[in-house]
Structures are given as structure tokens and as C-alpha cells.
Amino acid sequence: MNGAKRKRRFWPAAVCVAGLLAVWLVSGCGRGEPTFVVALKPDRDPDAMLEEQRTLGAFLREEVDRRVNVIVPMSGAVIHEGLANGTIDISFVSSTDAVRAMDAGVGEVLLASEINGRPYYESYWITLREKTYFDVEDLRGQPIAFSSRTSTSGMQVPVWDLVKRGLLRPDQSPEAFFGEGNVFYGTGYVSAARRVLDGQAEAAAVSYYVLDKDKHLSEDERERLRKVVSQGPVPTHVLVVRATLPEEDKALLRDAFKAMNDGAEELRDTLFTGPLVEVDPVEHLAPTREVMNLIREMPL
């Protein structure tokens, strides 16, 4: 494929990123040969993911013998809407987003990622290395940062853990433990971690890989931080396929993504954290569903 063609094919994806999915279809992206639309979760700068998008698209095209457009929408809401209206065929999403898609009848779990051979990971409270916090109880009355109001590992699981420990009642907001005005909700893991690094918060709730992996923070930033305590398990992210996609297409996509386990491991690990495996959707998402049921009743 020459540069001109590659540029023309990426423009509809840019429209999708802006959320104009319907316009994207009308403009002609869906004409000609059948096309699979793959959406990646927007957890990093989309511009930095362009090469990964191209590489994944090329790999999948070889496997499915069909055109593949890989996009990075601006939010999980755009992905959910795309699954609902048929403009997105498959997406890599958090377990929380997967529960929402399944409950709405717009998506089904196709595959789950593994981390260190397990289909789950941990949420961390992190603090500056020199601080004297060694358990979550030590954070009572301290200013803290959650990754966002919707983050599974960066808010929902840590709050669920506070309730399990008896430090917070289900009818209380996190401020009942941390103190009025002491709870900050960020726009992602980095925003929460940077609040600790800048001295605006004593601790932040993030996914384990913010501290343990070279993915979101620089080596110097990670060196300044340490884990206070972990909580979980947090079910790993999953590939959710559009519920209305024909069964033969679901099988085709399942085989194509599983083929990354033996031939595209580096790309797979970069985009999906680890091996892609089949799981029982109900069992896999059970911990997240429990957390969501609790959070739904809390005054957050």
C-alpha cells in the first residue's frame, strides 16, 4: 500500500476519533470490499499510536483477508455508541465498559487479555517514596487522587476495598474517609499520579502498571513513587465484539486476534498487555459487576 492510499484510509478514522461515526460511513469508508472496524481504548496519545494502528491493521488484514480500519476514539462512550449503531465491530475495553456493553445488549466478550498468566491484575495506592503511609488506613483524612470517576482500577475497586475493610459505609462518599475537599478525580492515571508527584495529593489510586511498567510515567517519575497497598482482583481488559455481527465474522475475528499469540507478540503486548485467551464472560466479569453494583448506590 502506497503512502497516498494509507493517508486516504486514515482520514475516515480521524473522523471517527472526532465522534462523527455516521458521517464516516456515508463518506464511503464502507464501500467496496467488506471492512472490519477495530477500536482501541484511548489510554495514550492517539498520535503516538499511529504506527501501532497501522501495524495492527496490516496484521489483521492478512488474517481475515478483508480491509481493516483501526481507530482510537476519544472516549469509551464513542465506543459504546459505535457498537450499538454498527459503526464499530470490535474494541478493546475495560471490564467495566464490557459489563455496560453486555447489559445493554450491544456487545459480547470475545477474548480477554492475560497479565503474567492470569486474567486479572491489581489496583495500587501509590505515594512518594519518602512518605510514611504503609496501609490504606494511614490515608484517613489525607488529600488523595482517583484516576477518574469511571476508572475501574483507579476509583471503583479502591472504593469497593474501603467498604470491604469497614472504613467506609456504602451510603457514604469517599470524603467521609479522606475528608471534605480532599478527594480529586482526574482524567486518567497520569493526572492522578502527577498530582502526587506535584505534592497536591498524598496518594493516588491507579492501575498496577502505572508504577510497575514503562508505559505512562518516565523512569525518573516512577523512581520517586512506591506502592502503599494493592487491592483487587481487577478483571483484565477484553475484546468486545458487536452483538449484531454475524457469527462467522465473530469467529473470524476471534481467530485473527488469537493468531497474535504466535507471531505478533510484541505488538500484542503493547496494545493488549499480554496473551489473548478465551474466558467465561460471566465468571471473568463477576468481580467488576460486584464493584459496579456497590458503586451504583454510593453518593459519588
- At 121-180, the pLDDT tens digits run 999 999 999 999 999 999 999 999 999 998 999 999 999 999 999 999 999 999 999 999
CB atoms within 10 A of CB 245: 19
The full 3-state SS of 126-146, as one line of letters, equals: EEECCCCCCCHHHHCCCCEEE
- Split into its structural domains, the chain has a count of 2
Q: Is residue 298 part of a domain?
A: no
| Cα(35)–Cα(253) distance, integer angstroms | 12
114-118, 127-131, 212-216, 261-265: the lowest-pLDDT one: 212-216
Chain centroid to Cα 202, Å, comes to 25
| Cα(21)–Cα(18) distance, integer angstroms | 8
| Cα(190)–Cα(298) distance, integer angstroms | 25
Is the Cβ–Cβ distance between 112 and 284 less than 8 Å? yes
Residue in 142, 139, 273 with CA at minimum distance from that of residue 208: 273
pTM of the model: 0.81
Over residues 25-59, the pLDDT tens digits come to 333 344 457 899 999 987 666 677 889 999 999 99
Q: Are residues 174 and 143 in the same domain?
A: yes
Domain extent at residue 111: 3-117+236-287
- The last residue of one of the domains, among 197, 218, 235, is 235
Q: Is residue 163 part of a domain?
A: yes
Q: Is residue 39 part of a domain?
A: yes
Q: Read off the C-alpha cell for 44.
A: 495514550
Q: Which amino acid is at 143?
A: P
pLDDT at 10 over 70: no
Q: Are residues 156 and 180 in the same domain?
A: yes
- Mean pLDDT over 57-84 rounds to 95
| Cα(189)–Cα(175) distance, integer angstroms | 20
Q: Are residues 69 and 158 in the same domain?
A: no
Q: Are residues 253 and 109 in the same domain?
A: yes
Q: Is residue 251 part of a domain?
A: yes
Q: Is residue 296 part of a domain?
A: no
- The last residue of one of the domains, among 235, 250, 271, is 235
Q: Are residues 188 and 267 in the same domain?
A: no
Q: Read off the C-alpha cell for 132.
A: 510514611
Q: Are residues 157 and 241 in the same domain?
A: no
| CATH code of residue 32 | 3.40.190.10
Q: Are residues 65 and 198 in the same domain?
A: no
